[in-house]
A and B are shown apart, each in its own frame.
Chain A
């Protein structure tokens, strides 16, 4: 019986590498999820590109406008401000969360007593929603709140601000809660990366008389290269998505001083109901994210080989 089965199975074997030929069920297994994603993601995405070429207030039918929305964008000071703020957010939020996350991981990498508690404390904010995080910090930032209280208590009363209401501090004040939440996440990524480094490399470096800094430069950093790449894409994608904090606290204000591309897009489309221009702004975000998306996919492509 078994021999007969084997005989039946064997002739086909040379044609395949392990996995078997797809049956209708298997094809359905691929097509159903693909269809779900096509309907909820790919089809709307194509529509989004098309809407960006129209004028549309949501009431009357859209009218084709060519590149008019993009010309408007080129001369729009708020767009420029949002672009600058997004870049600033990317550099500050990205740079500090990468550096902070790596620092925390190096500091807390060794398994020892109590380490789980320290790691958990840094990681805990990661599970909060950005909105809840933002509201917590909003309370601390109030003019009569804890932050100003601490500043005056330590004799720095002159540094007190209405942190979120002041155009010169609003953006920075909102990066802090986002960082508070991101550093624990990046730390976890780096902890896994550090764990994967072969201890023999450090032994060899020490035999060669390498200092701590040299070990870090010449062993740790090169070994973390693939984690670094992941961290960079995670950070860039998260920054371009960091809508929640700003929408919860200032909605881009005061006077667009904390306007990000994502908040400006949402405001344009859903508050001012200028859907055409809103979609054009979304396309701008897509263009900025495109490089990251492609490099992420290239890496994924190499690995799924």
Chain B
């Protein structure tokens, strides 16, 4: 009795091979359930894709929940140029790519020093840096906005880059130093004997060996920076400088009730991160777990 109700997940045992019919039924049951769940999860995306291709007349005339009676790809051009998604994507690229590169560079420097050398207060430094990343961002919003105004740095993309780098840094240092500590000390000593300096050890030996972690963190942090809403609306004010996420909100305000255009805008906003995910799927999943399974 106990054996027959045990979940499929545990069925990969040799003893099960004795009951092929039951096994096959369970397999069919599993795939039915899993397909239903996947379809349910994908349904909102499918519905939005459909709405994003319906014409405004169709949506207003037949209602949002009617079957499509039109095919209007020009919603995408409306969102792209009229809704400002084109400029927003450029802004997002200007912010995300340098922010990710700089964060990884700075974090790998600190992680290298903290993991491969005997630094006084090593653990305290790591924890202080990680602690800064765990702070709720709300405590920083007003001071960052006001300080950047005082120093004439308000409303500029480099300021946004700096804030994204600074706020993310602690987490990346923590993850990378954990990873770098697994690199055997012998490799470093061998390089030392060959006359390599600290910088060469960092650049030529440790960084290449850290590539899996860097790729994982890079894929992950790209989506974090790209998807962020709070920091852009805190340090930027000019609409034409806004990255994709806040630009999507102003598109929503500009095209009130044009759900087809808003849907097209949401799809445009989602495409870059989906592309990164599909391209770097394995790194991406690894990245989520790097930060978590400790």
Contacts and interface: CB of A to CB of B under 8 A. Distances in A.
Interface of A: 2, 5-6, 9, 16-23, 25-27, 29-30, 32-34, 36-37, 39-45, 47-49, 51, 58, 104, 106-110, 112, 114-115, 117-118, 120-125, 127-132, 135-140, 142, 144-146, 148-150, 180, 184-185, 188-189, 192-193, 196, 202-203, 206, 209-212, 215, 226-227, 230-231, 234, 237, 240-241, 243-244, 247-248, 261-262, 265-266, 269-270, 275, 278-279, 281-283, 285-286, 289, 292-293, 296-297, 299-301, 303-305
B64 A146 contact: yes
Contacts of A146: 47, 64-65
B166 A39 contact: yes
B114 interface: yes
A247 B178 CA distance: 36
A45 B162 CA distance: 16
Given A129-B270, A212-B2, A293 B198 contact: no
Interface in B243-274: 244-246, 248-249, 252, 259, 262-263, 265-266, 269-270, 273-274
B140 interface: yes
B288 A139 contact: no
Given A282-B138, A297-B134, 16 more contacts: A27-B119, A29-B202, A34-B125, A37-B166, A41-B167, A118-B37, A124-B41, A125-B41, A128-B227, A129-B228, A129-B229, A144-B65, A244-B229, A270-B141, A270-B233, A300-B126
B44 A301 contact: no
A50 to B, nearest CB: 9
A212 B10 contact: yes
Nearest to B33: A107
Q: Binding site of A, secondary structure by majority: helix, strand, loop or mixed? A: helix
22 contacts: A27-B119, A30-B114, A40-B162, A41-B170, A48-B140, A51-B142, A109-B9, A118-B37, A124-B277, A125-B41, A128-B270, A132-B270, A189-B293, A206-B13, A234-B292, A247-B229, A262-B138, A266-B141, A270-B234, A282-B139, A286-B139, A304-B123
| Size class of the contact patch on chain B | 35 or more
Nearest to B202: A29
Interface of B: 2, 5-13, 30-31, 33-35, 37-39, 41-42, 44-45, 47-48, 51, 63-65, 106-107, 109-110, 112-119, 123, 125-127, 129-147, 162-163, 165-167, 169-170, 173-174, 177-178, 185, 188, 192-193, 197-199, 202, 223, 226-230, 233-234, 244-246, 248-249, 252, 259, 262-263, 265-266, 269-270, 273-274, 276-277, 281, 284-285, 288-289, 292-294
B41 A212 contact: no
A218 to B, nearest CB: 13
Given A29-B110, A124-B42, A212-B10, A131 B139 contact: no
Nearest to B129: A37
Contact of A188 (B10, B144, B188, B288): B288
Residue from B39, B42, B135, B144 with most neighbouring chain A CB atoms (10 Å): B135
A83 to B, nearest CB: 14
A6 B293 CA distance: 40
A24 to B, nearest CB: 9
Contact of B117 (A22, A122, A227, A244): A22
Residue from A19, A114, A193 with most neighbouring chain B CB atoms (10 Å): A19
B168 to A, nearest CB: 9
Given A22-B118, A37-B166, A296-B134, A211 B2 contact: yes
